[in-house]
Structure 1
Amino acid sequence: MHNRLQTAKSIDEVIQHHEFFLDKCLRGCLLLLPEFLKKVERLKSLCLQYAAATQWLISSSIDVPSLVESDGSLVSEKPRQSKSRRPYQPLKLSSSNKTVADSILKFEREFNAELQSLGPILNSSSKAEPYMTHLSKCILGIGNEQ
């Protein structure tokens, strides 16, 4: 765009070069494909759901000592040695390992299905935009013989 602007002879040519540049940017960022943007948004949503579930799982499995005594008073930073105080009890997970594994596999299946559905969208658009062919092949796993 910079080189083209240097040779522009009128404001109309500047506007034309700028519009061409903006169009090229929109195409390069895949912002002119509403179907593609919906799929990417769905992938993002799945990733955020997975991250939230993972965060919950980690936080529920970490041993957190109780900061409140049985009488309702806060425990000081250096806990007192008291015979009446119950020994520290780690938190238990409310779900079994199988349930956790099933949840992870469900996220994986949904993510892979959404990712695979991007391939045909990109493939059909690659006829108009050849640079999308490479992205389509990467998503579909074509040509990954490395």
Structure 2
Amino acid sequence: MIKVQTENFNQQVEYDRLREASNTGAVVTFTGLVRDINQGEQITALTLEHYPAMTEKALTEIVEQAKSRWSLIDTTVIHRVGELQLLDQIVFVGVASLHRGDAFAACEFIMDYLKTEAPFWKKETNADGKSYWVDARETDQLALNKWNVE
């Protein structure tokens, strides 16, 4: 399941849905939050923008890549857009698999691709009320690079 939405999500509901599938032996989840500091700057809000058709296609491709690399039973990716406040939930990635190794790897893979390849545009607002667009960090690109080793 892939959703891009403005509304918040319930982690427990999403987890319960993933663990219902037969043969599930492991469920790994990740939830990203709006943090109050980014690269040394005090942040008060975060706005995420996207182009719906492009975003959903990219998220589908990321999940399909994960399914081709690991034995997965089910996946959930929920990404919020719009204006978010400190500690709001931004993203949920959940992976169900027969074994924990596949679930952990696929969850990390999906997040690494979301941080660098998904077409979301992020604008932060700092404590002075100034807003600015944020580029992907070098550390996110380095995390992605480990999946490209053949």
Q: TM-score, length-normalised on structure 2?
A: 0.26
**Which structure: greater helix fraction?**
1
Taking structure 1 as the reference length, the TM-score comes to 0.27
Q: Which has more radius of gyration?
A: 1
Higher strand content, 1 or 2: 2
